Chain A
C-alpha cells in the first residue's frame, strides 16, 4: 500500500472514532436501555418492545410530537423567509450601515437561549411586562402571550428571533460565493435587481437553503430550552410533556423512568430522520420538474 492510500483512512479516523464514541455508542445504549423496565420496587426486567408499544399509544408523547410538528410548519417558513430577505438585502449592497445591520441581526444568536427565554418571559408578562403596560395605558387589548392560545406563537417568536441571524449568515455566505461576472452578464442582458435575485441568487442559494431547512427540522422537533424555561412562569400552560424532548427529560429526571425515556428519545430520533428525509425528498422532486 502506498503512502497516499494510507493517508485516506488516517484522515478519516478521528472523525470515525468520535462518531462511534459520541453518536453510535450512545444510540446503541439508548436502544439497549429501551428494552428494559426498571422499577423503584422490584428492580430491572427485560420487557422487549413493550416500551415501544406503550409509547406509540401514549397521548402525552403523541401530543408532544404533534405540537412540534405544528411548530415546525408555522415557525420555520417564517424564519427562513426572514433570513432570506435579510441576506438578499445585505447582499444587494443597497443597505446603509450593512455591517451594523448584519451584526444586529446575528447578535440574538449569541445570546444564550436561557437568557433569551427569561428576557422574553419578562416582556410577555401579563401584569408588569412592557407590552401589557403599553396596552393598558392605551386602553388596547393585549394578547395573553403566556396563555394557552398564544403560547406556541410566543415560543415561535423567541426561536425565530434567536435563529434568523444564524440562518441569514449561512445564506449570506452562500450568496458571496456567486461570481461577480454572472451579475455583470445579467446586467448587460438588461436584468434588474429583482430579476437577478430571482434567476441567479435564489438558485445559487438552494444548497444553503436545504441546509438551513434541515437544521430547522432537527431544531424544531427537539424543541426543549425555550418551553423548559417558560414553564417556570407558565406552569399551567406548558406541561411536563409539552414537547416530546421535554417529555423524555421529565420521564428520566422526574419520574426516574430512564428506560421509557430512552424509548421516547429513540422514537423522537426516528421521527426526525423521517421528517428530514421527507423534506429532502420533497425539495429534490421540485428541483427536477
Chain B
C-alpha cells in the first residue's frame, strides 16, 4: 500500500544537525481564526456557516478531551505545545496502526457508530475514501480556508473537496525525486539523466557494463510510485465530479506511454522489479545492486538510516523528465490531519488540527524532530532548513533539491474514492506484468476493466471508459 514509510525513523541520528534557529516566516493560527471572524466561511457555496470567534474562544476554554489517532513517532512533543497554549484541552494520542491498518480500524469504528476518534492522521490519497462515506468534517467554518496560502499550492487541491470543502490540514509531503549513487555513475561514466530517454539509455549501458547492477528498481508492489510517475507525466487517471460520477482512465495515452516505457525496460531486464521495503530490497540498496532510488522527499532521511553501508555515496536530483523544458514532478506519501464528523467537540478538534500543522513551533518540530518534509511554504524557504547538508549525501543540500522539486508538483491530480481497490488491482495486473516481464499494455487494459466493473458494481456512474 502507498504510505509514508516513516515508522522506524532510522535516520534520526544522522540528521540531527538540522536545527532551525529562527521562527521567521511564521504563520499565525490567530490570524487564520480572525480572518473568518467576520462570518464568511471563505467557501463559495457556503455549506456550513462560520463559527463565531466568541464561540471558538469559549470552546477552547472548556475542559475537553480529544482523541487523536496518528502513527507519527513522538508526536506528543507537538501536542504538548498545543496543550500549553490551550490548557483546558487534553489530547489523547493513540497509535492505531500505520496507514491501511489504521483506516481499517477507523472504518470499523465508524460503521459500529462508536469508538471513532475526534481526529485522525490521514494520507492525501485516502481522503476521498473517507469523504465518500461522509466521515470527515468540513473545516471551513473553523477558519481553515484562510490557511490556503500557507501551504504549498498542490497540497491544498489534495485536501479540498469539489465544492471547496476543506477536509484536512496538510502535515507533510513527498514530492518525488531521484537519489543516485555518485560512485557507480562515476565508475561507468554515466551522467545524471535529465530525461527519461537518457535514463533508459543509462539503464541499458549500466546493466551491460555490470550485469549485477541495475540503474533502478521499479517495485512491482508499489502502486504509490506508479501513481507518482503518472502524476509527474500529467495523467489524470481518476476524475470525480459530483458524488457518484467518476472517469477512470488508467489506460489512456499517458498511462500507455508509461506502460510501454517501464514495461519495456522490465522486459529487457535492465531494471529491477522486486518488491520494495523488504529485507531483500534493503540488502540490495546496501550492496549496490541499484544505482538509483526513485523516491520522494522523505526518501533521503529514510535511506540514510536503511543503507548505512553506503554513506557518502548518494546524491539527490530531480526526476528525469518527459519534457525537459517543462520540469514537473509527482507526489508520493505525506499525511494530513482530519477531523471525524462524529466528533462531539468540532471546534476544539478543528483548532487542534490547524494548530498542529501551522503553529510555527509545531510545524518546525515536525521538520526537525520527525524529519517530515514540510507542507508549508514558509518552511520550504526557511534558510536553516534548505541549508542542511548531510554527509550521507556528500554534503549536498538535499532539502534544497526537494524544496525546488516541490514547486513543480502538478496541482490537479485526484484520487479515487476506492483507492485500496485500485491499488490491489494494480498489483495484480500492471505490477504482475512488470514482475513476470509480460505485456504491460495489456495489463493496463485489465486494470482499467477491473476498476470499471468494480466502480459500476459500487453504484458509480463511470464515464470515458
Give A residues with C-beta under 8 Å from B. Answer: 39-42, 121-122, 125-129, 232-236, 239-240, 250, 253-256
Q: Which residues of B contact A256 (CB under 8 A)?
A: 107, 418, 420-421, 458
Whether the pair A41, B280 counts as a contact (CB closer than 8 A) is no
Residue of A nearest to B104 (CB): A253
Whether the pair B427, A235 counts as a contact (CB closer than 8 A) is yes
Q: List 14 A-B contacts (CB under 8 A).
A: A39-B459, A40-B460, A41-B458, A122-B279, A127-B289, A233-B279, A235-B221, A236-B427, A236-B436, A239-B428, A240-B427, A253-B420, A255-B420, A255-B454
Pick the contact of A254: B275, B424, B458 (CB < 8 A).
Answer: B424
How many angstroms between the C-alpha atoms of A127 and B281 in the bound complex? 9
Whether the pair B221, A232 counts as a contact (CB closer than 8 A) is yes
How many angstroms between the C-alpha atoms of A233 and B434 in the bound complex? 15
Q: Within 8 Å of chain A (Cβ to Cβ): is B367?
A: no
How many angstroms between the C-alpha atoms of A128 and B274 in the bound complex? 13
Q: Within 8 Å of chain A (Cβ to Cβ): is B58?
A: no
How many angstroms between the C-alpha atoms of A232 and B220 in the bound complex? 10
How many angstroms between the C-alpha atoms of A254 and B422 in the bound complex? 9
Assuming the contacts A232-B275, A232-B278, A235-B427, asked whether A40 and B289 have C-beta atoms less than 8 A apart, the reply is: no
Within 8 A of A (CB), among B406-435: 417-418, 420-421, 423-424, 427-428, 431-432, 434-435
Whether the pair B244, A240 counts as a contact (CB closer than 8 A) is no
Q: Which residues of B contact A239 (CB under 8 A)?
A: 428
Residue of A nearest to B454 (CB): A255
Nearest chain A CB to B294's CB is how many angstroms away? 18
Whether the pair A236, B279 counts as a contact (CB closer than 8 A) is no
Pick the contact of B220: A39, A122, A125, A235 (CB < 8 A).
Answer: A235
Q: How many A-B residue pairs have CB under 8 A?
A: 82
How many angstroms between the C-alpha atoms of A253 and B427 in the bound complex? 16
How many angstroms between the C-alpha atoms of A40 and B418 in the bound complex? 9
Whether the pair A240, B280 counts as a contact (CB closer than 8 A) is no
Assuming the contacts A233-B278, A236-B435, asked whether A41 and B428 have C-beta atoms less than 8 A apart, the reply is: no
Assuming the contacts A122-B279, A234-B275, A256-B107, asked whether A40 and B420 have C-beta atoms less than 8 A apart, the reply is: no
Q: Within 8 Å of chain A (Cβ to Cβ): is B283?
A: yes
State the main secondary structure of chain A at its contact with B: loop
Q: Which residues of B contact A41 (CB under 8 A)?
A: 132, 243-244, 458-460
Assuming the contacts A239-B428, A254-B424, asked whether A121 and B279 have C-beta atoms less than 8 A apart, the reply is: yes
Nearest chain B CB to A272's CB is how many angstroms away? 25
Pick the contact of B275: A39, A129, A233, A240 (CB < 8 A).
Answer: A233
Whether the pair A236, B107 counts as a contact (CB closer than 8 A) is no
Q: Which residues of B contact A128 (CB under 8 A)?
A: 279-280, 283-284, 287
Assuming the contacts A233-B275, A235-B220, A240-B424, asked whether A127 and B284 have C-beta atoms less than 8 A apart, the reply is: yes
Whether the pair A255, B284 counts as a contact (CB closer than 8 A) is no
How many angstroms between the C-alpha atoms of A238 and B418 in the bound complex? 22
Q: Within 8 Å of chain A (Cβ to Cβ): is B133?
A: yes
How many angstroms between the C-alpha atoms of A236 and B289 in the bound complex? 21
Pick the contact of B428: A40, A42, A240 (CB < 8 A).
Answer: A240
How many angstroms between the C-alpha atoms of A235 and B226 in the bound complex? 15
Q: Name the interface size band of chain B.
A: 35 or more
5 shortest interchain CB distances as A-B pairs: A41-B459, A236-B435, A235-B221, A42-B459, A39-B459
Q: Which residues of B contact A39 (CB under 8 A)?
A: 457-459
**Sample of 8 more A-B contacts, CB < 8 Å, known A128-B280, A232-B275, A236-B427:** A40-B418, A40-B460, A41-B458, A128-B279, A128-B283, A233-B278, A233-B279, A255-B420
Q: Which residues of B contact A233 (CB under 8 A)?
A: 275, 278-280
Q: Which residues of B contact A253 (CB under 8 A)?
A: 104, 107, 420
Q: Which residues of B contact A42 (CB under 8 A)?
A: 244, 459
Residue of A nearest to B461 (CB): A41
Residue of B nearest to A231 (CB): B221
How many angstroms between the C-alpha atoms of A40 and B428 in the bound complex? 23
How many angstroms between the C-alpha atoms of A282 and B279 in the bound complex? 45
Whether the pair A127, B283 counts as a contact (CB closer than 8 A) is yes
How many angstroms between the C-alpha atoms of A200 and B417 in the bound complex? 65
Q: Which residues of A contact B287 (CB under 8 A)?
A: 128
Q: Which residues of B contact A255 (CB under 8 A)?
A: 418, 420-421, 424, 454
Q: Which residues of B contact A234 (CB under 8 A)?
A: 275
How many angstroms between the C-alpha atoms of A129 and B283 in the bound complex? 10
How many angstroms between the C-alpha atoms of A126 and B281 in the bound complex? 11
Nearest chain A CB to B239's CB is how many angstroms away? 16
Assuming the contacts A40-B418, A128-B280, A255-B421, asked whether A235 and B460 have C-beta atoms less than 8 A apart, the reply is: no
Whether the pair A40, B133 counts as a contact (CB closer than 8 A) is yes
Which among A39, A126, A127 has the greatest number of chain B C-beta atoms within 10 A?
A: A127
How many angstroms between the C-alpha atoms of A121 and B277 in the bound complex? 13
Q: Which residues of B contact A250 (CB under 8 A)?
A: 424
Whether the pair A125, B454 counts as a contact (CB closer than 8 A) is no
How many angstroms between the C-alpha atoms of A122 and B431 in the bound complex? 21
Whether the pair B459, A236 counts as a contact (CB closer than 8 A) is no
Whether the pair B421, A125 counts as a contact (CB closer than 8 A) is no
Q: Which residues of A contact B244 (CB under 8 A)?
A: 41-42
Nearest chain B CB to A237's CB is how many angstroms away? 8
**Contact bitstring B194-236, A, C-beta under 8 A = 1, else 0:** 0000000000000000000000000011000000000000000
How many angstroms between the C-alpha atoms of A233 and B219 in the bound complex? 10
How many angstroms between the C-alpha atoms of A239 and B436 in the bound complex? 14
Whether the pair A40, B104 counts as a contact (CB closer than 8 A) is no
Q: Which residues of B contact A126 (CB under 8 A)?
A: 280
Whether the pair B243, A254 counts as a contact (CB closer than 8 A) is no
Residue of A nearest to B222 (CB): A235
Q: Which residues of A contact B283 (CB under 8 A)?
A: 127-128
Nearest chain B CB to A263's CB is how many angstroms away? 14
Q: Which residues of B contact A122 (CB under 8 A)?
A: 279-280
Whether the pair B280, A236 counts as a contact (CB closer than 8 A) is no
Which among A239, A254, A255 has the greatest number of chain B C-beta atoms within 10 A?
A: A254
Q: Which residues of A contact B132 (CB under 8 A)?
A: 40-41
How many angstroms between the C-alpha atoms of A235 and B435 in the bound complex? 9
Nearest chain B CB to A82's CB is how many angstroms away? 28
Nearest chain B CB to A164's CB is how many angstroms away? 26
How many angstroms between the C-alpha atoms of A126 and B289 in the bound complex? 13
Q: Which residues of A contact B417 (CB under 8 A)?
A: 40
Nearest chain A CB to B221's CB is how many angstroms away? 4
